[in-house]
Each structure stands twice: as structure tokens, then as C-alpha cells.
Structure 1
């Protein structure tokens, strides 16, 4: 298969996204971007798998978080999903800096900044920023994952692990053992 306007050849592989990342991602062979287009918190799940159950486990998020973030929704797996929007965003949103595409209202704080600075007693807030790569498409560099992994590996105790762009995010409770 060839990409449009490119001489690069690509191949299609199907597998569990977290397991694929664990098997194929390493410091010596990195893709340009990781686009987490799957219905799990890829960062948290990859770090859980990579460090293993003797070093890291999932924990419940404190309800206090829901009073500190905009429009929280707790998912069935325990993650908290957050958004500056109280409406369905358009698929082609280009995530402009400082304002909402739909309302034109000023965005006072980027979600990645808010989640990365959450101060919940006993928890260390860690965030990986998802960058807008195109309308409705976000991703992060592999090096961001490796740097976050190193921080998690040095941390002890409860962690608020989040991934967020300017407007939306997901938080997972983890504990480094």
C-alpha cells in the first residue's frame, strides 16, 4: 500500500492496540507520532502493561476530582473523561489556541495544563499532551511516552495519569508500588 503523494510503502497490521505498542515500540525504532484511535486510555494501559502488576496497579480516582474539572464523566472502567465543551464538538475542529471553535468563547486554561497541575492530596499529577495533527486527529510523540514512563518508574504512590489536548482529556488512577 502507498500513501497518497508519497513514495513510502506502508503495511496494515491489526492487533490489540496496547499489546501492539508494547511489542513494537522501543527507543531505537520510533514512529513519528502515535495516534491513539482506540477506546481505551492508551498511555495508562501501555504503562500498566510495560511496568507490570508488581510495580503498578490501577486504583480508583477520588470523587474530589469531579469538582475540580469541567464536565466530568466517569467511565465504566473508572477513568474520568473531561471536556471544556458541554456540547458535541465538530469532527473538523482544529483546536485553535485560546478560543473555542464553536462558541468563540475564550478558553482560560488548556486541558493539558489543568490536568497536569491537579493538586489532589496524596496524588502526583502526570499528563501527556495530545497535539492536534489535523481536524479531529490528535497524537503524541513516542519520546513523550518514554519520558513519562521514566517519571512513573521513579514515582511511588498514587498517580493521576492523564492525556489531554487543549479541550478534552482522560484521567486514570494508578499506583506505583
Structure 2
């Protein structure tokens, strides 16, 4: 299915070098009729970030001075649009922490009182060419064992190997969860899948956050770990939540 290019609001995480670039690309894409949106919101705690220092923002672009976590808590709690209407999307930054995993972790106690979601290390390798466990327990994975082009849109024909891109991280994570579930109840994966939309800008749909919230509820009900990941076709950051209630694992 072709990723959509009509949106309600588009959130850009960060107003630094990446956020400024993405904002400029989105403005140009709209001018050329490649994308539509109501507004673009850049989120940065620094009100004098690079996006502002570079000059006036385009029409329908704004900067929200806020911490990313607090902004997402409010933004992702909004009512979805009517069926068939443009929805929201988020442009992640390559340098951001695993914000969506942190959001799901905070969400647990608010939606399921008495439950606590603990981030646990993703100990088992996924098996991709690049597969590294970070000190915070997040597993960073990639099908590329080479240096990718800057702002690569991950086309069906890989520009580095000059051949078909035969891999898809979304499918690899579904198989990974199935393997984990054989040893311990494991739900998911709750995926935030970044796809190229226009002029080198990738984003994931906020509808995926709503789906992730549903999967979290299923994990609470099953007493299962929840695997969640922010991914593209080639790369990903993978986290895992373990839910406890009244001092015991559900």
C-alpha cells in the first residue's frame, strides 16, 4: 500500500539541523503539490533553535517550545479524525531517544491503574547484519552493514548494492516476536513504521500509536511482554516492556 501524503497535522521532532531540513523539504513538497497538510509543528525545548534562527517559518508552520515527552503525551491523546479524513503523522529525528517506547511506558499507569511497565533489555539478537544492544537495553538493528546515503528513501532497489531490497524490518520483527513468544508470552510488535512521503522526508502515522496502545492493553491482559519498535524498511530501534501489577508480573 502506498503511504499516504495527505495529513491533518505533521509533527517534526526537533528544530535543529534535521528538523530545519525536514521543514524546508515539507514546505517545498507542498508548493509542488506532492503533499498536503493543515499545519506543521516543530517541537524543540529551545525557543531559539536553528529552525527559528534560520529565518521566518513558512505559512502554517510553527514551533512549540516543549520537552518531547510532555508534548507527545498531549498530542497522542487527541481524538482521531473522522473516518476517511486526513490524520496526523510524526517525523522522527535520527538523533532522538526511543520516544515512542517511553510514551507507552508512561501510558501504562495512566490507562491501567496499578500496573507498571518496566523497560527490560532486549537480550535476544534479531539476527540482522547490524544488531547491537545499547546500555539502556534498546536493541539497534539494521539490514545494512554499509554506510547508507544521507536521507536515503529506501527504494525497492538499494542504491548501495544496486540490487533489489529483499528485506523489510517490519516482517523481521513479526517473526522475532513469534520466536520470543514460544519461550515467554510476548505481544506485538507495536510498530512505528517510518516511510518516505515526499522530498526525502520520512514519517510514521499517528494511527500506529493508537494501534500500539491497543496492543499494550492486550499485553496487560495476557500477562505478556510487549515488543515495540520505531523502524524503517532497513533500520530499527527495538524496546521491550514488562508489565507488573501489585509487585508481581501479570
Secondary structure, counterpart of 2:158 in structure 1: coil
Secondary structure, counterpart of 2:217 in structure 1: helix
Work out whether residues 91 and 135 of structure 1, in 8 Å CA contact, stay in contact via their aligned partners in 2. no
Task: Tell me the TM-score normalized by structure 2.
Answer: 0.61
CA distance in 2 between partners of 1:9 and 1:75 (Å): 38
Give the equivalent residue in structure 1 for 2:148.
89
Give the equivalent residue in structure 2 for 1:61.
122
Give the equivalent residue in structure 1 for 2:9.
none
Give the equivalent residue in structure 1 for 2:24.
none
Structure 2 gaps of 5+ residues are 1-26, 32-38, 40-57, 82-86, 245-250
Q: 2:187 aligns with which of 124, 129, 132?
A: 124
Moved runs in structure 1, 4+ residues, more than 6 A? none
Give the equivalent residue in structure 2 for 1:147.
211
Work out whether residues 162 and 171 of structure 1, in 8 Å CA contact, stay in contact via their aligned partners in 2. yes
Give the equivalent residue in structure 2 for 1:80.
139
Work out whether residues 188 and 215 of structure 2, in 8 Å CA contact, stay in contact via their aligned partners in 1. no
Task: Tell me the TM-score normalized by structure 1.
Answer: 0.83
The size of the alignment, in residue pairs, is 173
CA distance in 2 between partners of 1:134 and 1:87 (Å): 24
What's the RMSD between the two structures over aligned residues?
A: 2.6
| Cα displacement (A) at 1:89 | 1.1
Work out whether residues 75 and 81 of structure 1, in 8 Å CA contact, stay in contact via their aligned partners in 2. yes
Secondary structure, counterpart of 1:114 in structure 2: helix
Give the equivalent residue in structure 2 for 1:168.
235
Give the equivalent residue in structure 1 for 2:92.
36
Greater Cα radius of gyration, structure 1 or 2: 2
Q: 1:88 to 1:147 in 2, by over 3 A?
A: same
| Cα displacement (A) at 1:76 | 2.4
Q: 1:14 aligns with which of 44, 62, 65?
A: 65
Q: 1:136 to 1:91 in 2, by over 3 A?
A: farther
Give the equivalent residue in structure 2 for 1:109.
167
Structure 1 gaps of 5+ residues are none
Deviation per CA, 1:92-125, whole angstroms, max 9, x where unpaired? Answer: 312112x322112333220111112212232334
Secondary structure, counterpart of 1:138 in structure 2: strand
